[in-house]
Structure 1
Amino acid sequence: MSVRCLTVLLMATTLASCASATLTESGQLSSYAGLQTSNGVLTRAKVRAEKDAVLAARAVSLTPAVVAAEAAASGLSPKELRLVGNAIDRALCRDLSRRFVMVDSGQPADLVLTVAITRIEKTDTTAAGASVVTGIGSKVAGAVTGAPVPSMRIPIGLGGLSVEAEARDRTGHQVAALIWARGADMFTTKARVASDGDAHQLAAEFAADFAKLIVTGDDPMAASAPSVPSTERIGEYFGAEAKSAACRRFGKDPGLGDTLGGAIGLPPEWTDKGPADP
């Protein structure tokens, strides 16, 4: 079988094993005009950007993510909702600080970014727990036999996340917007035994896409391969403070501890300390 056929087969299998994700138009954006559908392999999206205006910006203010009514009614606890929102804020601020000067909310800025979590699908903790046990069994079998044993999540009770975000200039005019939705899948989303397990992981995926839109002015769904992590990013992953002082309010990157915890299915609240203490 050719590489192309294998790629197509993998994509088809992945799509078939994804949780559904709903694109929303909840009224959180100042305008929905001009948005163009631009879906990725796993992500559904609508996007627009005035590239010249975005590229001319130097200072950016990020307003902490809000939780819309439908997302608040998802069944997650206030603590879990706060953790998901902060995961978006922290990752987005970190990625934007590579190009922009990040300033505190309310301070003068060329662009003001707002983010709203509009819908969350809870992770089924029973199914996630079963996937974790199956995954550990695969690792043990691989160690005993000396041959790798593939491990996939059970495609039941997968979570999802929907977000709306925009950037406005100094006059309040919208210069970029992204409506985004993605569900967890069997292959790329690790099973974590918590209702917010998938939403917490998908928060970073949304942040990466929105940051690409604001940094480049280009459609993130059409972006090329991921960039090589910077020295600052590697340092933050291993516990360093955020490069930008304005980003430190969102707390330290959970980094290696979160990666290891996710590998054995620990809930996000066990590995992510959330926002910094006021």
Structure 2
Amino acid sequence: MEDTNQTGEIPVMPPGLWDVPLVLAATPIGNLSDTTERLRALLRTAEVIACEDTRRTRQLCQALGVRPAGQLVSLHEHNEASRAAELVVQLQGGTRVLVVSDAGMPAVSDPGFRLVSAAVEAGVEATVAPGASAVVTALALSGLATDRFTFAGFLPRRGGQRRQLITRLRDEEWTTVLFESPHRTAATLAELAEELGASRRAAVCRELTKKHEEIRRGTLGELAAEAAEEPVRGEVVLVIGGAEPAQALGEEELVELVLRRESSGERLKDAAKAVAAEHGATTRALYDAAVVARRG
């Protein structure tokens, strides 16, 4: 469908469309039918469109039959710091700026965060035009708990940061959503199975909202084995189930821990204090119980 505006002028804006000068708008993550009417109107009326990739945004506009009247400028991880300063100046001058990423919500593992921060610091209002999100789509389809979850973005490729994040996931009781590239998915699943336990529940979500959408559910061990035999292709989101809550220890078990530390050379009072702090017990009560147990 052709955009009806052929004059090159900024079209008449629907009421409320530009109540604030900066709008972050979600774009479809695969299925163009998920495009909102608000996004179409924003693309037509923005004076500046800050794009993760201007070519991708032009392709999106062409596919939607939308003719953008504003200027398309790049806003990606390599230029966001400098570009954000330029855009804030324009925003302060009254320019209507739309921010879009290649797919999904800007600023969520995509450019936009630095611009929003700079705009807020400069006193420029910003808002969001909601839409498709790979994070919540994968979470909803995973079959795992959705009442509490955390989003960890892309796993660091290697080194201490990767180790630190995986170590944190061992005791994380909330569901965790991760992004991963398809050619690293098999190795990542194998590593997670080894570090978090092969029985931890998880889901591999690929090509969300697209023709070949697929959700693989199972344990990390099962999913790692499947990925090793049949490589994962396309855009990938991993959803990792939370760890089982730690069982609270009874007094006898806590006293046993105290006495074990004492037998290793620690003062009884210090051992009781350390165990109490670690398990949320009362130091004095635990110390007294340990004294009684030792005498017995």
Classify the TM-score, shorter chain.
under 0.3
Greater RCO (Cα-Cα under 8 Å, separation 6 or more): 1
What is the TM-score normalised by the length of structure 1?
A: 0.24
What is the TM-score normalised by the length of structure 2?
A: 0.23
Greater C-alpha Rg: 2
